[in-house]
Amino acid sequence: MAWGLPAQLATRDLEAEMVFDDIQSLNLAALRGDLDLTAISVGAYPELADDYRVLRCGASFGDTYGPLVVATKAPDTIGPAAVAGMRVAIPGAHTSARMLLRIYAGDTYEEIQMPFDRIMDAVMAGDVDAGLIIHEGQLTFEEQGFHSLFEPAAEWTRTERLPVPLGVVAVRRDLPADIQSDVADAFLRGVHAGFENMEDALDFAAQYARGLPRDVLEEYVSRYVNAATLDMGESGIRAIDRLFELAAERGMIAAAPQFDPL
């Protein structure tokens, strides 16, 4: 999604310094107020709502798929009860993956925070009992010898009948309104450019894909870069509102934040 952004910003006399990092690091940078425009986890937004406004463009939603909990041993049962009493590695306290897991499994497990790209190694080494995996691990866990214990995304789809809210792009509210609008328009045009020049956009993404095989990268992109990336639509807005409603009901957040996408 970032491939076409600098050129589009330049047409509006705006310059961009690109920062590439894992999603939890970007969540923390946003919490510090370090970034004017950034990808964030939907799960981080309740703490950022006063300072950032989400764009309708740039969101990532799953369609029955998304983060899941894996272990090296096949479970006796599959579902939220399968993680009870376990030490589970999570990719960050502010991630949407963690919010989804907590909604369904509550505090029945112990959370061990670590970078997302260390989780599967930690599970394999026995440092934790299970791991909540995101990104390409969702596509490769079986061939690496892991078993699925619980898929919060599948449970969400079954119970809510809505797309699975995962990531969004947000702009600082204290930027002038015309700048916010220019940034939102530039981002949308940049995503359109990415769709129209997919091979170039994938080449760009491959530089930051940690050596991911091209076929896995393409499959991952095909899952999460789609029509909802251009505009989350009313179903996306309902999904995010519902996620916050459930998080508030479970006592994970004080109250559902105002959600007013730009």
User: Catalytic positions, please?
Assistant: 135
Q: Where does the chain have alpha helices with state H?
A: 5-10, 23-32, 45-48, 96-105, 119-125, 137-140, 152-160, 177-196, 198-206, 214-224, 227-230, 233-249
Side-chain half-sphere of 97: how many Cα atoms within 13 Å? 25
User: How buried is 185 (Cβ within 10 angstroms: 0-12 exposed, 13-18 middle, 19+ buried)?
Assistant: middle
User: Residue 15: helix, strand or coil by DSSP?
Assistant: coil
Distance, CA of 170 to CA of 35 (rounded, Å): 9
Distance, CA of 155 to CA of 78 (rounded, Å): 11
Q: 151: closest CA among 165, 167, 132, 166?
A: 132
For tokens 């934040």, name the residue. Answer: 257
Q: 89: closest CA among 124, 121, 119?
A: 119
